[in-house]
Amino acid sequence: MSDIDSVLKEARVFPPPPEFQKKAHIKSLDEYRALYKRSVEDPEGFWAEQAATLEWTRKWDRALEWNAPFAKWFVNGALNLSANCLDRHVAGPRPDKTAIIWEGEPGEVRRLTYAELLREVCRFANVLKGLGVKKGDRVGIYMPMIPEAAAAMLACTRIGATHNVVFGGFSAEAVRDRMNDSEAKLIVTADGGYRRGAVVPLKANVDAALAACPTVKHVVVVKRTGQDVPMQAGRDVWWHEQMEKASAECAPEPLDSEHPLFILYTSGTTGKPKGVVHSTGGYLLQVALTTKYVFDLKDEDVYWCTADIGWVTGHSYVVYGPLCNGGTTLMYEGAPNHPGPDRFWSIVERHKATIFYTAPTAIRAFLRWGDQWPKKHDLTSLRLLGTVGEPINPEAWMWYRRVIGGDRCPIVDTWWQTETGAIMITPLPGAIPTKPGSGTLPFFGVVPEVVDKDGQPVGPEAGGYLVIQKPWPSMLRTIYGDPERYVEQYWKRFPGIYFTGDGARKDKDGYFWIMGRVDDVINVAGHRLGTMEIESALVSHPKVAEAAVVGRPDELKGSALVCFVTPRSGTTADEALRTELKGHVVKEIGALARPDDIRFTEALPKTRSGKIMRRLLRDIAAGKATVGDTTTLEDYSVLAKLREEEE
């Protein structure tokens, strides 16, 4: 197998707006370059220096102990995460500053100051202790996006329990498997949560899961919707009743820097979900530092990351990063299109959000719903936009910049993974000129490279495998209960260096362009094409909102290109459009990428975190799976749901 051919042509460059630059934490490319140079010439010195921004109860002896591929950061140091996120702000200048602004889907708004959140966290930490949870135990969290979810996470960190958050949209089976794999002792849940006007039956799912979870002894239930739920005597307790009785004083437990902070299950592209384990000190440091510099976070910001706490983005950039920096973080419970497609924009306007961080899948949905929805609202409070989760197609990036950012806000396209814990490749908004579709340059202390199959750098403009060459503080420490799988999955392919599983290209300016998962690369007549680049060519057509491209085995070419296309609202999907799109891709990329087949779809199959399920589309393209009548507009999201149940 050769490397990956890159065909994307994108020449637009957007320098940081001068107004933004003047006030930014990092103000110029030179300043970034100087600090980056320092950070990679002496990473341990750099991180040790930065670690002084956290509050430690015992100073570490050494910044890094590296027995590849096992890392320990801030060896023998001790700290408490909740003390860093709460107590020091309460003791310092921010006791009455709003920590969390929360909006429920039905429309209620709650604000919690740092002092209030600290009391809530201490109370719940005492509740956990009262129910027998000790340092080192695992606690499951299966909750809607409500402030209690953040409080529950922070309470775990206060006493040294390792949390295991399961996305509230997952099924009872997923809860069962994750609780069993992590041997959780207790689960925190709610009677339900609101999603698109309906109630998600969280407690019922927990009840079903617990039929086969012998380690779970207690369930704490937050009353959110008020619907009737059965409570099992001796096992289930109400959050509000426990909290009433609990003391609001709870000293933070000093924890070893390497203490396991959380386990988060990620399925990646194949196989059984892996319990990614993160540490305390290194994780918090890189999360806090990236939040400050990537989002240029200031005291007066209203920062909104739309991720659910069930994903790593919710852990790092809804809860821990913003709170560690003393920021105001906005949480929204529900769907982006409830009651209408402008819900997000009404939230931005109502709370005067200044920073907005979301996923490409959401941006492409907004683009499809049309400009009229954001146009109904005053979005001038926004000063910075961000994206994460998938490669963003340049045209979706341009739309985001123009319609949401008013051509005024820089966009930070942040590349990272559940495994990396924190942002790794990203623009710094006041320093690094952006190019649509590129994550630009590495964050401080991060040493990525694009290599060929033998692990040799491929050089500028060539596609290859994205690797990280040096350990970083927020890296995963292992796969829970399966260190062999940790080694096998990430450190075997290129011995001693971390393989991300993604394809990428570095351009002549050293900018990284992520080309998608290497498992999705398509071999067409000797060319190895990343899916993102062909999809971007399709999305650059004014009638296309979203596209996914997969290969279908073909005797002549190796693979034929099958493109699944979601047209923009109001577009007729017909033979004429098919012909037009084929011609468009040829014009954008060249004849080698001419689509063999274009199939129009109402919706693409996505994982619950919004990533396109190309594996499933490959089966559909190869005729292994069908959904009813395929002559009209298809809807594969149904199939995605079926497939998920099987897993």
Q: Summarize as ranges the residues that interact with ligand WTA (CB under 6 A).
A: 266, 312-313, 388-391, 413-418, 439, 500-502, 514, 517, 609
- Of 179 and 264, which CB lies nearer to ligand WTA in the complex structure? 264
Q: Which residue has the tokens 């695992």?
A: 138
- Of 80 and 500, which CB lies nearer to ligand WTA in the complex structure? 500
Closest residue by Cα to residue 344 from 370, 318, 321, 362:
362
- Of 223 and 608, which CB lies nearer to ligand WTA in the complex structure? 608
**CB 109, min distance to ligand WTA, A:** 28
Assigned token pair, 203: 């407690």
Residue nearest ligand WTA, Cβ-based? 418
- Of 105 and 419, which CB lies nearer to ligand WTA in the complex structure? 419
Alpha-carbon distance 524 to 587, whole Å?
17
> By the 8 A CB rule, do 393 and 532 touch?
yes
**CB 450, min distance to ligand WTA, A:** 14
Overall residue count recorded for the chain in this entry: 647
> By the 8 A CB rule, do 629 and 408 touch?
no
**CB 231, min distance to ligand WTA, A:** 34
**CB 289, min distance to ligand WTA, A:** 16
37-42 contacts at long range (C-beta below 8 A, 24 or more positions apart): 39/444, 39/445, 40/445, 40/447, 40/470
> By the 8 A CB rule, do 500 and 468 touch?
yes
- Of 593 and 612, which CB lies nearer to ligand WTA in the complex structure? 612
Give just the sign of the alpha carbon dihedral 357, 363, 365, 370. Answer: positive
- Of 249 and 647, which CB lies nearer to ligand WTA in the complex structure? 647
**CB 181, min distance to ligand WTA, A:** 18
Alpha-carbon distance 88 to 575, whole Å?
63
H/E stretch holding 263 reads strand 262-266
Assigned token pair, 33: 């370059």
Strands 478-479 and 274-278: antiparallel
Assigned token pair, 173: 């089976």
**CB 485, min distance to ligand WTA, A:** 16
- Of 142 and 167, which CB lies nearer to ligand WTA in the complex structure? 167
Alpha-carbon distance 152 to 66, whole Å?
32
**CB 389, min distance to ligand WTA, A:** 5
**CB 223, min distance to ligand WTA, A:** 31
Residues 62, 64, 69: CA angle, nearest 5 degrees = 150
**CB 618, min distance to ligand WTA, A:** 17
**CB 416, min distance to ligand WTA, A:** 5
- Of 79 and 466, which CB lies nearer to ligand WTA in the complex structure? 466
Alpha-carbon distance 161 to 241, whole Å?
22
Assigned token pair, 49: 């220096």
Alpha-carbon distance 432 to 73, whole Å?
29
**CB 439, min distance to ligand WTA, A:** 5
Alpha-carbon distance 163 to 160, whole Å?
9
**CB 276, min distance to ligand WTA, A:** 8
- Of 188 and 411, which CB lies nearer to ligand WTA in the complex structure? 411
> By the 8 A CB rule, do 131 and 220 touch?
yes
**CB 467, min distance to ligand WTA, A:** 12
**CB 379, min distance to ligand WTA, A:** 22
At residue 384, the 3 state secondary structure works out as strand
> By the 8 A CB rule, do 434 and 409 touch?
no
Burial readout 452-487 (b: 16 or more C-beta within 10 A, e: otherwise): beebeebeeeebbbbbbbbbbbbbbbbbbebeebbe
- Of 327 and 516, which CB lies nearer to ligand WTA in the complex structure? 516
- Of 445 and 501, which CB lies nearer to ligand WTA in the complex structure? 501
Strands 463-468 and 478-479: unpaired
- Of 140 and 448, which CB lies nearer to ligand WTA in the complex structure? 448
Listed in sequence order, the residues at least 6 apart from 527 whose beta carbon sits closer than 8 Å to its beta carbon are: 5, 592
- Of 120 and 390, which CB lies nearer to ligand WTA in the complex structure? 390
- Of 336 and 360, which CB lies nearer to ligand WTA in the complex structure? 360
Query: Could you tell me the strand order of the sheet in which 355-358 lies?
Result: 109-113, 98-103, 328-332, 302-305, 355-358, 384-387, 411-413
Assigned token pair, 210: 């617990």
